[in-house]
């Protein structure tokens, strides 16, 4: 599926805003508690360790793609 860049950018910006602190400062990565919660739900691999990324599990990938479709990230 091709994704609409403008919608994707808006979503990332919204997430950065949701996790901003210090009057507009935001980390480039997502909040650790959120990533841990996704792991606890079985949607990602274990985020602990030195790796800078996680893998979506089969269930996580299905849900992520469904949410992307539901939020209309796809191009029309």
Q: pLDDT tens digit string along 4-31?
A: 888 888 888 888 888 888 988 888 888 7
Contact present, 35 and 19 (Cβ < 8 Å): no
Q: Where do the domains of the chain lie?
A: 5-70
pTM of the model: 0.75
Q: pLDDT tens digit string along 38-48?
A: 999 999 999 99
């Amino acid at each position: 599926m091709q994704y609409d860049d403008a919608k994707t950018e808006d979503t990332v910006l919204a997430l950065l805003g949701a996790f901003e602190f210090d009057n507009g400062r935001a980390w480039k990565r997502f909040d650790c508690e959120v990533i841990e919660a996704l792991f606890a739900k079985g949607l990602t691999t274990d985020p602990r360790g030195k790796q800078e990324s996680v893998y979506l599990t089969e269930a996580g990938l299905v849900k992520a793609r469904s949410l992307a479709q539901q939020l209309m990230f796809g191009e029309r």
